[in-house]
Amino acid sequence: MNRRALLAGLLLLTAAAPAPRRTPLQVVQMLYGGLKRPASPDLMSRRLKALVRKDEGRRERNLDFEWRSGGQEIPQITGFRARVVRAKGDQALVEASFDNLGERRFRRFFLIREDGRWVIDDALLVPENTKLADLLRGK
């Protein structure tokens, strides 16, 4: 077998390989691991991605701050902790807490299993005391 055929076969196997299985906790950890970049749509449900896209298309966005860290400035997260509160069937609840620029923040993530993978469907933001989906809708 020549090199091109071997390389083509390897590429096909790689492309056909399923995405790695992530736990609800790993999804939330990944969300905070990439904090210097916008939240990855890969970690969001179809519903949440649609709300984000709609908000990004507005002249005046409903979501006008970095929702993961709760601030306008470059986040400086310390003391990050996350734990699975509940995981049953195709739904999970993960709570996270951290300090951002000296202010304590809490997040409660509602995850669903969509197309066989865990994704974030909504988040309760504290001290903002609102859900992410409601903010995106302008409520």
The type of residue at 36 is K
In the chain, DSSP finds a helix count (H) and a strand count (E) of: 4, 5
pTM over cut 0.95: no
Neighbours of 73 (CB within 10 A): 10
**Domains within the chain, CATH numbers bracketed:** 21-137 (3.10.450.50)
Q: How far is CA 91 from the centre of its chain?
A: 15
Q: Render pLDDT for 107-136 as a digit per residue (tens, 0 to 9).
A: 999 999 999 999 999 999 999 999 999 999
Residue that wins the pLDDT comparison between 105 and 37:
105
Helix (H, G, I), strand (E, B) or coil at 108: strand
The CB-based long-range contact list for 55-64 (8 Å cut-off, 24+ gap) reads: 55/136, 62/135, 62/136, 62/137, 62/138, 63/132, 63/135, 63/136
